Amino acid sequence: DIQMTQSPSSLSASVGDRVTITCQASQDISNYLNWYQQKPGKAPKLLIYDASNLETGVPSRFSGSGSGTDFTFTISSLQPEDIATYYCQQYDNLPYSFGQGTKLEIK
């Protein structure tokens, strides 16, 4: 199985800050990676697919990059509504696997 490791596990930042989360795969997954946002008590929401493609309707302050084993998720200017936990997910091989999540808080 492919292991996905996110860092940091939690992050505190101020409104307007640039925020970066990394995700590392235990083997090469090409660009077969998605990013999700999960707010408390809610289902995850797709933000980025195929490592760098923005889902329709998602604000452009969200972006993703990377390929192979190392990926980055960025919020260019943190907004109060971005407070959530973020997960990466690989789909190169079954079983699908998720990172452990990064909990983002406002400083």
Partner 1 sequence: QVQLQESGPGLVKPSQTLSLTCTVSGGSISSGSYYWSWIRQPAGKGLEWIGRIYTSGSTNYNPSLKSRVTISVDTSKNQFSLKLSSVTAADTAVYYCARDTVIHRLYYFDYWGQGTLVTVSS
Residues that bind partner 1 (CB under 8 A): 1, 32, 34, 36, 42-46, 49-50, 55, 87, 89, 91, 94-101
Q: Least distance (Å) from partner 1 to the CB of residue 95?
A: 4
Contacts of 49 (CB under 8 A, 6+ apart): 34, 55
Q: Least distance (Å) from partner 1 to the CB of residue 97?
A: 7
Which residue, 33, 20, 34, is CA-closest to 75? 20
Pick between residue 75 and residue 101 the one whose CB is nearest to partner 1: 101
Pick between residue 8 and residue 15 the one whose CB is nearest to partner 1: 8
Q: Least distance (Å) from partner 1 to the CB of residue 8?
A: 14
Which residue, 4, 10, 1, is CA-closest to 66? 4
d(Cα 34, Cα 105) in Å, to the nearest integer?
21
